[in-house]
């Protein structure tokens, strides 16, 4: 099923009428390029007040006293609220998306630097911020736990003493695979390689920070909340549970979102504070965090300390993989993942290889750092899993003296083995790995690159070639085993065709930049033959869209994309019955061709979807038993996830004098099944690869030993720009998903997942002459320098 041919429907302007998949320009861009997007901070309501949050300056301390009197007297201030005041209403704590609790405002202790301690509501943003400085908080500073390895030591300070009976910093244990079977395979293997790896804590750093505008109407008891959320419906349910406002009285609106990357999945205290503030003041209240607040207090990603072990035969057959993980979840477990998956989908750490046994044991701990634990284009921890397996496979290649491409090719799951059940229980729906790998190698000119590398090494130049091959699991549900706080991971979708043949499709998922207004119009267009320009995509408003669990884990195309195709087919089925009446033939005698039904054998006798839409709403008879109107609604529950894959090859040059890494080339071949809009897919891949350069070479949320966050601005927390990245070379293969109605798999996080190991593998490969087998991210010049020096062989 693999091909590299693309159906080239190049849509240069959206007035053209081609139907179906292709490089259609994004319908949302005219408003964005004109600066007419409508983001949360653009919302202005009459009489709106502004909220600012006082945050803890220290990582761990008992709150002795808070004096708000000076702040209350400050000009323009309407209210100052502390945790103690929230506690009186039972609102000081809120549930997280993973069954932990998190302080909305600290009451007893602060548990990370940047934690929310109090808030001020004032007439404008400046008055609110000024008043923060007048709040006097007395802290009794405690020893912090910053290093996850320290957290479980018997004498470590207990962070979560709010939890009843909690006498340590243990968060959860999790395991998968078969420990005994894996140990047996390791015992008889010719070769065992183990490597310690750290995936540092990083931040999604979206361009738009988090924020909300809350507007509570005390008369009718309705709450409207504009907020930066990737999951408006799930958030609404949580607010209903926390605030006790009935769900039908809450409207969550997620307008244009300026990037999410997972940062906007969790519910943050700021959202709840804005709601409380609106209830207390009777006025609309806006909270918009600044860059530092976003970087120090909102959902971080990764922070896994891993030991990877791999067992193989001498001739390079991989037998088993084992890993032990210490996961740092910060002060509150705010991970957004299906509840039965506290480690997300890390269980796919067996990668793309057909092996005999696998086992993972994980311990998660609390530390005095910001809560979170999943966000940042990770497909629920698959980023960490892919990094682990692709790094240790390279370590094995090094040990065996084998080419890393050859080692991978030798161990791939073969096409005839799909659907393939992994040793940790995941059923990969489809895959054809070798052609994807070969295409990447061809595009790179792999053999030629190795020759070049050999010549350069002989001259003392440091050139590295790194490979990574990944399989992702994206598209959560199915609902029977995947839910967030009891809400099953299925998606609603509604399609209405108006009398003139224009349509509106309403989605439960939310776009934060991925182009849903375009691609979902294309999906529907392909099914019912209405041009994409005539199909309006609505999302991000709980009053106007059907229930569904939102966008993360690249689930929109696998779940809501399927829902959109199926709802369109349902509408088409009804249209067929109406057409049979219009053409006076039986339904069986009709043939569908992009946009019209015609009588079999008589293409001249036909009615278009637009004719049918008018008839469905118009005067005149409809066939027996058919109600008027042309619309349908469904809720789609996926039978499995989809498993996209990809082969990435990175070429780096390392300056031996400065240890600076330059990514010279990067070849990315992705297989996401049926491709809806290749231009958008390439954009997703380009963005993800750029993320990968950031994580591999630059990004890390660092702390000093007191728990001060050292990356509170983009001067210190480095993110990549056009200057650090090469011209991406992308290619693709197509292996459709067998269970998805149009064969599509997700792709939004593939490149972020797949690229870091390719880059690290390339740098380590470049440093081979120094005997380096591993170096931890981010591979900044100082780390590369240390690696070169620390392990340099004597001349």
**Distances from the Cα of 535 to the Cα of 505, 559, 562, 617, angstroms:** 7, 20, 17, 18
As measured in angstroms, the least distance from the Cβ of 744 to ligand MCN is: 4
Report if residue 530 touches ligand MCN, rule: CB under 6 A: no
Of 744, 751, 764, 788, the residue at the interface with ligand MCN (CB under 6 A) is 744
* # residues near ligand MCN by CB under 6 A: 35
Give the residue with the Cβ less far from ligand MCN, 115 or 551: 551
As measured in angstroms, the least distance from the Cβ of 493 to ligand MCN is: 14
Question: Under rule CB under 6 A, which residues in 499-558 are in contact with ligand CUM?
Answer: 552-553
Give the residue with the Cβ less far from ligand CUM, 514 or 545: 514
Both structure tokens of 498: 């108006």
The answer to whether the peptide bond before residue 419 is cis (omega within 30 degrees of 0) is yes
Give the residue with the Cβ less far from ligand CUM, 370 or 495: 370
Contact pattern from residue 373 through residue 392 relative to ligand CUM, giving x for each residue in contact according to CB under 6 A and a dash for the rest: -xxxxx-x------------
Report if residue 731 touches ligand MCN, rule: CB under 6 A: no
As measured in angstroms, the least distance from the Cβ of 196 to ligand MCN is: 28
Q: What is the rounded distance in angstroms from the CA atom of residue 3 to the CA atom of residue 38? A: 40
Q: What is the rounded distance in angstroms from the CA atom of residue 592 to the CA atom of residue 576? A: 8
Question: Under rule CB under 6 A, which residues in 58-77 are in contact with ligand CUM?
Answer: none
* Helix (H/G/I), strand (E/B), else coil: 522: helix
* DSSP sequence for 450-500: HHHHHHHHHTT-EEEEEEEEEE--BS---TTT-EETTEES-EEEEEEE-TT
As measured in angstroms, the least distance from the Cβ of 21 to ligand CUM is: 24
Contact pattern from residue 191 through residue 230 relative to ligand MCN, giving x for each residue in contact according to CB under 6 A and a dash for the rest: ---------------x------------------------
Nearest by Cα to 443 from 646, 689, 676 = 646
Of 265, 396, 651, 762, the residue at the interface with ligand CUM (CB under 6 A) is 265
Of 20, 211, 255, 262, the residue at the interface with ligand CUM (CB under 6 A) is 262
Of 512, 542, 610, 761, the residue at the interface with ligand MCN (CB under 6 A) is 512
Whose structure tokens read 């190795």?
A: 450
Nearest by Cα to 191 from 306, 308, 318 = 318
As measured in angstroms, the least distance from the Cβ of 96 to ligand CUM is: 15
Report if residue 397 touches ligand CUM, rule: CB under 6 A: no
Q: What is the rounded distance in angstroms from the CA atom of residue 252 to the CA atom of residue 266? A: 14
Of 261, 287, 469, 666, the residue at the interface with ligand MCN (CB under 6 A) is 261
Report if residue 508 touches ligand MCN, rule: CB under 6 A: no
Of 102, 677, 690, 733, the residue at the interface with ligand MCN (CB under 6 A) is 677
Q: Which residue is nearest to ligand CUM (CB)?
A: 262
Question: Under rule CB under 6 A, which residues in 229-258 are in contact with ligand CUM?
Answer: 230
As measured in angstroms, the least distance from the Cβ of 445 to ligand MCN is: 28
Give the residue with the Cβ less far from ligand MCN, 186 or 433: 433
- The sheet carrying 285-288 orders its strands as 77-82, 116-122, 49-55, 285-288, 211-217, 222-227, 250-253
As measured in angstroms, the least distance from the Cβ of 172 to ligand MCN is: 23
**Window contacting ligand CUM (CB under 6 A); options: 281-289, 318-326, 372-380, 515-523:** 372-380
User: Residues 628, 634, 635, CA angle at the centre, nearest 5°?
Assistant: 160
Residues in the chain, how many? 795
Q: What is the DSSP letter of 769?
A: G
* DSSP sequence for 147-170: SHHHHTSTTSPPS-TTSTT--S-E
As measured in angstroms, the least distance from the Cβ of 6 to ligand MCN is: 12
**Distances from the Cα of 261 to the Cα of 500, 557, 644, 724, 755, angstroms:** 38, 16, 18, 20, 16
Residue pair 681/514 in contact by the 8 Å Cβ criterion: no
Q: What is the rounded distance in angstroms from the CA atom of residue 491 to the CA atom of residue 485? A: 16
As measured in angstroms, the least distance from the Cβ of 731 to ligand MCN is: 15
Q: Is 501 left (phi over 0), alpha (psi -120 to 50) or beta?
A: left
Of 209, 363, 554, 755, the residue at the interface with ligand MCN (CB under 6 A) is 554
Instruction: Look at residue 102 and give the partner it binds from ligand MCN, ligand CUM, none, a contact being a CB closer than 5 to 8 Å depending on partner kind.
Output: none
Instruction: Look at residue 374 and give the partner it binds from ligand MCN, ligand CUM, none, a contact being a CB closer than 5 to 8 Å depending on partner kind.
Output: ligand CUM
Of 23, 369, 408, 555, the residue at the interface with ligand MCN (CB under 6 A) is 555
Q: Is 529 left (phi over 0), alpha (psi -120 to 50) or beta?
A: left
Residue 67 bridge partners (DSSP): 136
* Helix H or strand E encompassing 726: none
Both structure tokens of 360: 């993972």
Report if residue 93 touches ligand CUM, rule: CB under 6 A: no
As measured in angstroms, the least distance from the Cβ of 624 to ligand MCN is: 39
* Helix (H/G/I), strand (E/B), else coil: 124: coil
As measured in angstroms, the least distance from the Cβ of 26 to ligand MCN is: 9
Report if residue 551 touches ligand MCN, rule: CB under 6 A: yes
- Applying CB under 6 A, the residues found at the interface with ligand CUM are 230, 260-262, 265, 374-378, 380, 552-553, 749
The contact set with ligand MCN (CB under 6 A) reads 206, 259-262, 377, 512-516, 519, 551-557, 672-677, 680-681, 684, 687, 744-749
């Amino acid at each position: 099923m693999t091909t590299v041919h693309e159906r080239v429907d190049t849509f240069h302007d959206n007035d053209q009428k081609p139907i179906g998949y292709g490089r259609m320009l994004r319908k949302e861009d005219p408003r964005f390029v004109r600066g007419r997007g409508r983001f949360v901070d653009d919302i202005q309501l009459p009489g709106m007040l502004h909220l600012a949050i006082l945050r803890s300056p220290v990582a761990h301390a008992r709150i002795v006293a808070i004096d708000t009197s000076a702040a209350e007297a400050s000009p323009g201030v309407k209210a100052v609220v502390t945790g103690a005041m929230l506690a009186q209403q039972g609102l000081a704590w809120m549930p997280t998306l993973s069954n932990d609790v998190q302080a909305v405002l600290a009451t007893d202790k602060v548990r990370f630097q940047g934690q929310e301690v109090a808030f001020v509501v004032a007439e404008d943003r400046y008055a609110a911020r000024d008043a923060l400085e007048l709040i006097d908080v007395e802290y009794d500073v405690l020893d912090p736990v910053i290093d996850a390895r320290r957290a479980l030591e018997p004498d470590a300070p207990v962070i979560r003493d709010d939890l009843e009976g909690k006498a340590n910093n243990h968060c959860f244990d999790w395991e998968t695979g078969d420990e005994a079977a894996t140990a047996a395979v390791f015992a008889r293997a010719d070769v065992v390689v183990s490597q310690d790896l750290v995936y540092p804590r990083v931040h999604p750093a979206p361009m738009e920070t988090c924020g909300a505008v809350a507007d509570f109407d005390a008369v009718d008891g309705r709450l409207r909340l504009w907020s930066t959320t990737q999951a408006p419906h799930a958030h609404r349910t949580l607010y209903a549970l926390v605030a006790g406002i009935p769900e039908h009285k809450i409207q969550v609106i997620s307008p244009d979102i300026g990037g999410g990357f997972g940062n906007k999945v969790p519910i943050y205290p700021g959202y709840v504070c804005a709601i409380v503030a609106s209830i207390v003041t009777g006025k609309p209240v806006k909270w918009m965090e600044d860059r530092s607040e976003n970087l120090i207090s909102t959902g971080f990603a990764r922070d896994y300390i891993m030991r990877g072990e791999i067992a193989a035969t001498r001739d390079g057959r991989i037998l088993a993989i084992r890993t032990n993980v210490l996961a740092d979840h910060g002060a509150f477990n705010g991970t957004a993942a299906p509840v039965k998956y506290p480690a997300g989908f890390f269980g796919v750490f067996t990668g793309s290889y057909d092996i005999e046994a696998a086992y993972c044991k994980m311990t998660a701990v609390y530390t005095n750092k910001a809560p979170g634990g999943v966000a940042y284009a990770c497909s629920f921890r698959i980023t960490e899993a892919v990094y682990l397996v692709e790094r240790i496979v390279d370590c094995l290649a090094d040990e065996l003296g084998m080419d890393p491409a050859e080692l991978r090719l030798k161990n791939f799951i073969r096409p005839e083995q799909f659907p393939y059940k992994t040793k940790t229980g995941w059923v990969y729906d489809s895959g054809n790995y070798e052609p994807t790998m070969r295409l990447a190698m061809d595009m790179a000119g792999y053999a030629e690159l190795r020759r070049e590398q050999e010549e350069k090494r002989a001259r003392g130049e440091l050139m590295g070639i790194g490979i990574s091959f990944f399989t992702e699991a994206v598209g959560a549900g199915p609902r029977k085993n995947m839910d967030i706080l009891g809400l099953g991971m299925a998606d609603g979708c509604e399609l209405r065709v108006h009398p003139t043949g224009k349509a509106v499709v309403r989605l439960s998922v939310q776009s934060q930049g991925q182009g849903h207004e375009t691609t979902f119009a294309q999906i529907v267009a392909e099914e019912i033959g209405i041009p994409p320009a005539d199909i309006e995509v609505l999302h991000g408003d709980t009053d106007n869209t059907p229930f569904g669990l939102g966008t993360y884990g690249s689930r929109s195309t696998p779940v809501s994309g399927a829902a959109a195709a199926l709802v369109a087919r349902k509408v088409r089925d009804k249209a067929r019955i109406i057409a049979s009446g219009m053409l006076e033939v039986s339904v069986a005698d009709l043939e569908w061709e992009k946009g019209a039904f015609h009588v079999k054998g008589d293409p001249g006798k036909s009615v278009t979807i637009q004719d049918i839409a008018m008839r469905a709403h118009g005067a005149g008879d409809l066939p027996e038993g058919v109600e008027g109107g042309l619309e349908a609604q469904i809720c789609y529950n996926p039978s499995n996830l989809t498993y996209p894959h990809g082969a990435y090859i990175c070429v780096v040059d390392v300056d031996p004098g400065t240890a600076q890494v330059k990514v010279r080339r990067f070849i990315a071949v992705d297989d996401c099944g049926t491709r809806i809009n290749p231009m958008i897919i390439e954009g997703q891949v380009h963005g993800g690869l750029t993320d990968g350069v950031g994580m591999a070479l630059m990004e890390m949320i660092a702390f000093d030993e007191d728990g001060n966050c050292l990356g509170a601005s983009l001067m210190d927390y480095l993110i990549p720009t056009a200057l650090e990245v090469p011209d991406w070379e992308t290619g693709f293969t197509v292996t459709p998903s067998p269970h998805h109605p149009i064969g599509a798999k997700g792709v939004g996080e593939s490149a972020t997942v797949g690229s870091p190991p390719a880059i690290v593998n390339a740098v380590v490969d470049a440093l081979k002459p120094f005997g380096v087998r591993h170096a931890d991210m981010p591979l900044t010049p100082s780390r590369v320098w240390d690696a070169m020096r620390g392990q340099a062989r004597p001349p």
